[in-house]
Amino acid sequence: MSKKGIVYLIGAGPGDPELLTLKGKRILEIAEVVVYDRLVSDAVLTFANQEAEFIYVGKVSGKHALAQDEINALLVQKADENKIVARLKGGDPYLFGRGGEEAAYIRDHGHKFEVVPGITSALAVPAYAGIPVTHRDATSSFAIITGHEKPGKNESSIKWREIANGIGTLVFLMGVENLGFICEQLMKNGRSADTPVALIRWGTLPDQEVLTGKLDDIVEKVNQLQFKPPAVIVVGEVVNLREKLNWVENRPLWGKKIIVTRARTQASQLVGKIRNLGGQAIEYPTIKIVREEMLQPLYNAFNNIEHYNWIIFTSVNAVEIFFDEMLKCGMDIRNLKGIKICAIGPATRDTITRRGLCVNVVPDEYRAEGILKELSQEIEPSQWILLPRARDSRQILPDTIRQWGASVNEVYLYRAVTARQVSSPTKELILDGQVDYITFTSSSTVSNFVKMLGKENVARFDKQVRVACIGPVTADTARKNGFTVDIIPREYTINALLDAIVEEVQMGSDY
């Protein structure tokens, strides 16, 4: 049976990438075309199949990448090509998202569609600002209203008298530019001028801003502070609960923009921890892990595995490739009986133990020098050492062990190559010094970062941005490339690196 195109209308949620639904994420991972709007964050797009065709169709007031008729035609065109199309919309596709129009057009042109609802900003954004839309002590009713209706229409589709008097909480979407008109209509139709109002800009994201006031003064406050859209407007007594129920802005990294330079396949742990602490993790992968095409030296080592006394693993990547290839060769952990194992740090150790093996040595200092210190009394002359690792690694480890009289078989399993360029907006944020921290977790992340941005540009942002390096070797590489290194944790781990950043932020360092 021939493949037929299908369009999925997916709600991307209000901005926080972790509020994307599981089904939305699953569809994005298989989509061949991703058609996305302005309010879909880069972080949500990272969930998508990176080999897909990405098409931006965002709309800003007075400026549209594509008109709605053109978007409709584009979706059908891609379905005609038998593609799996993800139409990604901010919030929910059927709440002021014109999803119904797109669905009808797709069906009228003979294609299937499915709707993947999203968490609407009308509920999530107030919640992240500490404002419940209903509360038994304040109100048991609420309404979601478009704020985009233009003043001066011959007949309004909004029943202002009914909503002004009959509904407790009013949530207006896309209404900042019409705020004066909205406040005027509510007061004109009976809502008290003292009614609390909140405007929440970039809600659920680390750069969320909240402005509160009353119906009779909120417009003046917006003008004074030049509070710009997009923002959700909440009107009602529930706004007064914000002082007590505000939670997200109290997290330790709230509002901090932190660049993560690890390979995308490795970044999830650090990214997740930053987000859990309230920070904005901006992925700028500088390296891509590429397996060596010719692994015959590893297979030769497998064939003689019984001769080895030690295996030294210096990275999680090496562990994963080593054991994957061992299984492909019909071997398992029983073949490693009697061989002692050294892991460079806790993450590498944990990856090994999950494979069912105990680790004999983990140094106190998580780098080559620490391994040498621990093994100097363990390795004996004439022993055989297997060292599976990355090409272009530092030579201090094998060279020193050979000086002890042992035989070292250094087997290259992968290379860390420079990643392809990332989005221009992210690059400009960095160059303009508009981020708080840049994290480097290896010398290769530093070197490739500089290649991607240009060494001549480092001085442009170095004084505005804090640089956090996982250890002294990485820090030395950073300094050689013109960076001022501000943070090196006491332990050379991801957790310790993040803890050091949190400690500095909580101390309120003047920088």
Please give the positions annotated as active site: 37, 59, 174
Query: CA quadruple 126, 131, 132, 138: dihedral positive or negative?
Result: negative
Strand order in the sheet with 231-235: 142-146, 169-173, 231-235, 196-201, 209-214
Question: What is the dihedral angle through the alpha carbons of 130, 136, 138, 143, rounded to the nearest 10 degrees?
Answer: 80
SS3 sequence of 170-195: EEEECCHHHHHHHHHHHHHCCCCCCC
How many CA atoms, within 13 angstroms, populate the side-chain half-sphere of residue 374? 19
Count the neighbouring beta carbons within 10 Å of the beta carbon of residue 123: 19
The per-residue DSSP string of 433-461 comes to T--SEEEE-SHHHHHHHHHHH-GGGHHHH
Backbone dihedral angles phi then psi of residue 412, each to the nearest 5 degrees: -85, 125
Report the C-alpha gap between 138 and 134 in whole angstroms: 7
Sole residue written with tokens 């994420």: 25
Report the C-alpha gap between 404 and 386 in whole angstroms: 15
Closest to 41 (Cα-Cα) out of 31, 51, 28:
28
Amino acid at 175: G
